[in-house]
Amino acid sequence: MEIDYAVYSLSDRFYEKYPNPPYKELLKKKERGYACLLIQSHYGYFICIPYRTEISHKYAYHFRKSSRSQEHRSGLDYTKIAIIKDIS
């Protein structure tokens, strides 16, 4: 299986299409935008997993070897995943 990935931020257009509310679980851009790992599936979807500096729950991939992770509980937060069908 081949996996394509890149690091992106979600656009203003995305936040206009998916406002909070009603999409309460998306991170609010002005408060904390998505700097995320973007994975392209072979089914026409993109999976956006946001990087967070402080994660206090177990539903995440916690970084262990970065300099930031030595001072913070940083990682990829699975509770705020956004699945996107069309990002163009």
**pLDDT at position 81:** 87
Q: Which of 23, 26, 22 is nearest to 34 (CA)?
A: 26
**Average pLDDT, rounded, for the chain:** 80
Query: Full-prediction pTM beyond 0.75?
Result: no
Region 39-66 average pLDDT: 87
Q: Which of 21, 34, 39 is nearest to 79 (CA)?
A: 34
Query: Alpha-carbon distance 41 to 31, whole Å?
Result: 29
CB 39 within 8 A of CB 6: no
CB 39 within 8 A of CB 45: no
